[in-house]
Homo-oligomer: A and B are copies of this chain.
Amino acid sequence: MATATQDKTIDSQASSQAGERLSLSLWLQLMKCTKEIEAGVGGRLRKVHSQSLARFDVLSQLHRFAGDWVAVGEIAGRVMASSGNITALVDRMVAEDLIVRRASPDDRRSHQLRMTDKGAALFADMTDDHARWVDAALDGIADKDKERLIALLVEVRRAFEATTTIQIKGPAPGSGPEQES
């Protein structure tokens, strides 16, 4: 009584399970890789410059708009920080005179940020060290492998973004009301 339909179902289920295990492995390795390097690089950044990776991110985003004022939300989005957390981070950086905040002249809801000279100088220092550390951490990997990895990771990100804008399939346990997205 194995109809074609049932065969197809079984087949797709089996392959789905194998693929699921592969996905988990990939996810695990991705996490381990990132966390280990992040811990190493972030630790050095903290020890040598007393700054976190988050602050480095903020500075590097401001650097890309060198001289211009940038809205807080603009920075928060680019650093993947929620609007809720950026406030305290910016506060501390302002207190340390790394950046300046002012009310937007155009939109009175909005505030803007810009690097100070001190922030720019610190950023220049950090950038240099950061590039060296990352390069040292990835020493031993062939350039071709790096290129291959970069290409694959970009592809992963693209695939991820494509699938998460849609409803997640899933056997829909028939229980909870699915939402989100």
Contacts and interface: CB of A to CB of B under 8 A. Distances in A.
Interface of A: 1-5, 7-9, 13, 16, 18-20, 22-41, 44, 47-48, 53, 56-57, 60-61, 63-64, 78-80, 124, 127-128, 130-141, 143, 145-150, 152-157, 159-164, 168-171, 176, 179-181
Contacts of A170: 132, 136
Copies of this chain, complex-wide, total 2
A27 to B, nearest CB: 5
A61 B143 CA distance: 35
B130 A4 contact: yes
B32 A38 contact: no
Given A37-B160, A140-B159, A141-B155, A135 B19 contact: yes
A4 B57 contact: yes
B136 A24 contact: no
A153 B39 CA distance: 16
A31 B29 contact: no
B34 A133 contact: no
A28 B176 CA distance: 18
Given A3-B61, A23-B146, A139 B152 contact: no
A146 B160 CA distance: 13
A157 B32 contact: yes
